Amino acid sequence: MRRRALLALALTLATAGCTRHETTPTPEATVTTSADQDLLAAASAGDPKTVREALAAGADIEARDARRRTPLLLAAANDHVEAARVLVEAGADPDALDDQHDTPWLVTGVTGSVAMLEVLLPAGPDLTIVNRYGGISVIPASERGHVDYVRRVVHTGIDVNHVNNLGWTALLECVILGDGSRPYQQIAEILVAAGARVQQPDRDGVDALEHARQRGYAEIVATLSR
């Protein structure tokens, strides 16, 4: 219940605030042909063969569905790695924004897919584009306990000290929205080793160490006290 309440608060405050690196989705790319429809459906279903066929038939690689999701975003959101690989090799944009201000790259932080991360990296995603909460991919990954993803993404050059609209970093979200279990203990260790600022306070002046103490997360306290 506490976690759901915090997430509800996050949604309210984050959507009310301004985000950095804000980009407005472009209106020109929409579904206009049957080939576009086939491409979007194939990407969503994870069918690389049909993805290739649709592209060969002239489908727009940046076609948009009703929620302004591109084929690559659909493939990434559903963790269809091979379909995404075909799209990336064909030049799909890893930074294409949908109506929720998600991109193919940003959703990897939600899914925690290291395989999709590796497919998208050669496309040169912009690691500074933020989601609707003002966060970059390492933040939702830390909040959701995606240990392997966090372990990999901290080596991409991503800013582990990025502050979202709530005033929370990845480390703060790991502690505040996590449950102190082993995955969150590991993520705290990884983030600290990657240069996360332990003494970075939230908007109330409380840092991750104090949040961990308040919650009785002894192992995380030990990590943040080193």
Residue 105 has pLDDT above 60, yes or no: yes
pLDDT digit string (tens) for 168-221? Answer: 999 999 999 999 999 999 999 999 999 999 999 999 999 999 999 999 999 999
Kindly state the average pLDDT of the residues 77-85: 98
* CA 59 – CA 56 distance, rounded (Å): 7
| Domains in the chain, CATH or no CATH each | 1-22+130-226 (1.25.40.20), 26-102 (1.25.40.20)
Kindly state the average pLDDT of the residues 110-136: 98
* Cβ–Cβ under 8 Å, residues 176 and 200: no
pLDDT value at residue 6: 59
Q: Which residue has the tokens 């002239």?
A: 58
- Which band of pLDDT confidence, cut at 50, 70 and 90, is reported for residue 32? confident
pLDDT value at residue 43: 98
Kindly state the average pLDDT of the residues 72-76: 98
> Please, where are the H alpha helices in the chain?
2-16, 34-45, 48-56, 71-77, 81-89, 104-111, 114-120, 138-144, 147-153, 170-176, 182-193, 208-215, 218-224
Kindly state the average pLDDT of the residues 49-76: 97
Q: What residues contact residue 141 under an 8 Å CB cut-off, 6+ apart? A: 108, 109, 110, 112, 149, 150, 153, 170
Q: What residues contact residue 158 under an 8 Å CB cut-off, 6+ apart? A: 127, 136, 137, 138
* Cβ–Cβ under 8 Å, residues 61 and 90: yes
